[in-house]
Structure 1
Amino acid sequence: MGIKNISWKEELKQELLKIGIESELFISDSFLLMRFRENEQLFLHLITIDTQPGCRETLQLQQDYLAEGKQLIQLWEDVWQNRTVQVLSRISALLGRNKRIHGRKTNILSITQPQADQFLNQHHLQGSATSRYRYALLLNDQIVAVATFSGKRKMIRKHPDYTSAELIRFATADGFTVQGGLSKLLQHFIKTLQPDDVMTYADLDWSYGKGYTKLGFELVAQTPPAEIWLDTQKMIRYFPHRLPPELNLIVAELSAAERVGYLNSAHYFSVFNMGNLKYILHL
């Protein structure tokens, strides 16, 4: 496996300390967690690939913390290794350490897909994704936030002329929080495209979607945890239906048990996420 021999949990702790964040590792019911001195409501659940807990147990742990008004983030070993800078930035933001910029001081600019890719791959935990519309907020000619959207899609089951669009990505530059930034970009998109609603997803590994609720979005659904296959040599994640074609051809002919054995022999190991919360802003 493409896993470092040194403890990635200790590496995380050391990297946080370098930016002034003191943390503590502790065991709770066999789960390895991290807490922070400056915020008693935020916790990380650190998940190592080859000693991971069960999906059901992990989901229950998250729900238990949520019931106590606490936020529990699921941080996987491969995510830390692949997106170290973005993980540190996200934790800093959750701890309220970012420099605040007022959205009203920024200007909106339409940008290209390559420009969005460059910014999102640098600042978003999940990197970039293909989009139809892309907008940036500029402060002193520097991009400080980007939001990307799909085109309008007809929702005939609701009404022949009803259209919906998706907010695909939103990110701010490392170390910055743009107050009112997402709202400003969202309203610009709505005014320009005039959809009947805008939908989006909150990644339950990292967010409960409270920011969307503040913007008027309504929680309409929750998707269950999803199985994911991790290529531990290239450290790339794949949903089962998106495995490389050469693998799909082989595993399609195998039983469930045979499939697991074959993928493990090819250095693919099963991981999972916590699912997503689906939000809709009705206009």
Structure 2
Amino acid sequence: MDIAPAFWHIDLIKKLEEQKVIIGSVSDTGSLLELKSGNCDETGNIIFLNLLSLGIKYSPKALVKLKNDYSAKGITLIQLWEDIWESRPVQVINRLLSLLGLNQQRVHGRQTTVSPVSQTEADHFMDQYHLQGGVKSRYRLALMSKGEMVAVATFSARRRMSLIAETYYSVELIRFASVSGVVVQGGLSKLIRHLINLVKPDDVMTYADLDWSSGAAYEKLGFTLVHTQPASEIWVSRSSGKRYFEHRLPPDFVLDPAEYIPVFNTGNLKYILYLNGR
């Protein structure tokens, strides 16, 4: 018996088809999709998209295994939760198009200039172009091309790592995004180099979300994988759609637990770019 796809599946597929993405179903339920660009051949960009609906009990172990099985074959598998689609549909589509190599304009990093931006400017940019939106940061750097921001990276304050040494400092790369449809070649590397010259840390640390990334981009920049974090439980507010990790649940969670739906991610990869000869 055929199973009717969820309404959000239909909406997602429609928007992808409008962007000339070729879509094939890999599972009977229609929740596992193969995506490829309209002009790619058998060796072109292909990604797989696993659609996860709220209210269905999934096994973190099974989803991590599925991700690892595809990764072992050199295939990109994205885990897309319903609440992410409902709250950030434009950003989801743009990220998928970028992974497929579609609708891309290339800008060389050497043709851009680095400029500091305010928290408000960074938040506005991330709300437009990053899947997780903006977040408070200490350093916010933009790449400017012809007077316009084409990419932004945000960083934490410099933190002393006394367990390593009294004079050892680390900085976290918190967010990086570029304008939809624009690839700034060497852009992230240029922003990180500028931050290093400005703050002079001993390392730069960041995380890759395994739902969306394998961390390959960081490895190309010289980052070292130091830790793989397991799947984390997350709670989604039914009314606001906002996500909360377990250690940051709001006070009303105890009073009205039915307001929150449990989901999870498939883990994170922790990367460090070691400097100063380490």
Contact kept, 8 Å, 1:44 with 1:73, in 2: the verdict is yes
Is structure 2 residue 67 aligned with structure 1 residue 62? yes
Q: 1:44 aligns with which of 27, 46, 49?
A: 49
Q: Whole-Å Cα distance in 2 between the matches of residues 166 and 136 of structure 1?
A: 16
Q: Whole-Å Cα distance in 2 between the matches of residues 272 and 208 of structure 1?
A: 17
Equivalence for 2:267: 275
Contact kept, 8 Å, 1:226 with 1:275, in 2: the verdict is yes
Is structure 2 residue 20 aligned with structure 1 residue 20? yes
Identity %: 46
Q: Whole-Å Cα distance in 2 between the matches of residues 134 and 40 of structure 1?
A: 32
Q: Whole-Å Cα distance in 1 between the matches of residues 171 and 248 of structure 2?
A: 24
Equivalence for 2:127: 121
Q: Whole-Å Cα distance in 1 between the matches of residues 131 and 197 of structure 2?
A: 28
Residue 26 of structure 1, CA deviation: 2.6
Contact kept, 8 Å, 1:41 with 1:69, in 2: the verdict is no
Counterpart of 1:60 in structure 2: which amino acid? K
Q: CA RMSD in A?
A: 1.6
Structure 1 residue runs without a partner (length 5+):
251-261
Residue 53 of structure 1, CA deviation: 2.2
Cα distance change, pair 137–54 in 1 and its aligned pair in 2 (3 A): same
Q: How many residues align?
A: 264
Counterpart of 2:239 in structure 1: which amino acid? Q
Residue 247 of structure 1, CA deviation: 2.4
Contact kept, 8 Å, 2:45 with 2:101, in 1: the verdict is no
Contact kept, 8 Å, 1:31 with 1:45, in 2: the verdict is no
SS in 1 for 2:197: helix
Equivalence for 2:205: 199
TM-score by length of 2: 0.91
Counterpart of 2:190 in structure 1: which amino acid? K
Q: Whole-Å Cα distance in 1 between the matches of residues 232 and 217 of structure 2?
A: 23
Counterpart of 1:282 in structure 2: which amino acid? Y
Q: Whole-Å Cα distance in 1 between the matches of residues 154 and 52 of structure 2?
A: 30
Residue 182 of structure 1, CA deviation: 0.1
Q: Whole-Å Cα distance in 2 between the matches of residues 155 and 125 of structure 1?
A: 30
SS in 1 for 2:162: coil
Q: 1:37-61, CA deviations, whole angstroms, 9 ceiling, x for partnerless residues?
A: 3356410100011224211111111
Structure 2 residue runs without a partner (length 5+):
38-43
Contact kept, 8 Å, 2:78 with 2:212, in 1: the verdict is yes
Q: Whole-Å Cα distance in 1 between the matches of residues 50 and 32 of structure 2?
A: 5
TM-score by length of 1: 0.89
Residue 25 of structure 1, CA deviation: 2.4
Residue 16 of structure 1, CA deviation: 0.6
Q: 1:174-211, CA deviations, whole angstroms, 9 ceiling, x for partnerless residues?
A: 11110000000000000111100000000110001111
Contact kept, 8 Å, 1:163 with 1:197, in 2: the verdict is yes
Equivalence for 1:33: 32
Equivalence for 2:168: 162
Q: Whole-Å Cα distance in 2 between the matches of residues 113 and 164 of structure 1?
A: 21
Contact kept, 8 Å, 2:253 with 2:260, in 1: the verdict is no
Cα distance change, pair 40–142 in 1 and its aligned pair in 2 (3 A): closer
SS in 1 for 2:177: strand
Residue 246 of structure 1, CA deviation: 2.8
Q: Whole-Å Cα distance in 1 between the matches of residues 168 and 54 of structure 2?
A: 44
Contact kept, 8 Å, 2:36 with 2:47, in 1: the verdict is no
Equivalence for 1:93: 98
Equivalence for 1:186: 192
SS in 2 for 1:50: coil
Q: Whole-Å Cα distance in 1 between the matches of residues 148 and 13 of structure 2?
A: 31
SS in 2 for 1:22: strand
Moved more, 13-22 or 237-246: 237-246
Equivalence for 1:242: 248
